[in-house]
Amino acid sequence: MKRIIILLTMLLVLCNLAQAQTQTEPITVSRQNGFKLYLLNGEEKSLKELKDIMMCDPIAYVDMYQARAYQKAAHILGYTGLSCLGAYSIFYFSKVALHAKPSQLLQVVAYSVAAAGVALTIDGIIYGLVSNKKAKNAIEIYNSRVQPTAFWDTHDLKLNLTGNGIGIAFCF
């Protein structure tokens, strides 16, 4: 009788320990209005917050760190390029509104600023796409390690009361 009680106690403890290893929910990526949203437990997270969450997983952390760096570069290049394009459009509309003919040098400078703006904006878009790809890769790595083991997902071990007394039910 002692052996049966010890065995049942050990099984009960092992089942509780196995259930205690279920980990957090995975990070999901959704698109709304053309923007990617990263959701953890239903809350929207930024790349900076995800980078802090992934510190426990070194491989995912490296990819998320790179994604964050590319995102910063994309913002800097994109905003600089759009500022150059804005400066060119101000030049163009002021030329049209004032019916003035600017000098040849001023036109060359304006076209150069416009070309630089287009190039910087395209680089910003490319860096943004690379950032999204790195973030997606980091989230896939993180989610693959967060998922609970497949054995306990498909199997269930319970201590139940049956018609004959206490029984162990193993469902699969």
Please report where in the chains the tokens 């917050």 appear, as a residue: 49
Cα angle value 11/16/21 (rounded, 5°): 130
Tokens describing residue 154? 């498909």
**Domain annotation covers residue 18:** no
pTM over 0.85: no
Q: Which residue segment(s) compose the domain that 124 sits in? A: 47-147
Q: How far apart are CA 99 and CA 110, in angstroms?
A: 17
- Average pLDDT value over all residues in the chain: 82
Structural domains in the chain (count): 1
- The gap between the terminal CA atoms of the chain, to the nearest Å, is 28
Query: Residue 64: its pLDDT value, please?
Result: 92
Q: What number of other Cβ atoms are within 10 A of residue 132's Cβ?
A: 17
Residues linked to residue 36 through DSSP beta bridges, in sequence order: 31
**Domain annotation covers residue 95:** yes
Q: Residue 9 — pLDDT band, cuts 50, 70, 90?
A: confident
Q: Which helix (H) or strand (E) holds 162?
A: strand 156-162
pLDDT digits 0-9 by tens, 64-118: 999 999 999 999 999 999 999 999 999 988 888 888 888 889 889 999 999 999 9
Average pLDDT over residues 17-28: 60
**Domain annotation covers residue 88:** yes
Q: What are phi and psi of 31, to 5 degrees?
A: -110, 130
**Domain annotation covers residue 129:** yes
**Domain annotation covers residue 115:** yes
**Domain annotation covers residue 13:** no
**Domain annotation covers residue 26:** no
pLDDT digits 0-9 by tens, 129-140: 999 999 999 999
**Cα–Cα distances in angstroms (integers) from residue 126 to residues 20, 85, 114, 150, in the given order:** 43, 18, 18, 38
**Domain annotation covers residue 7:** no
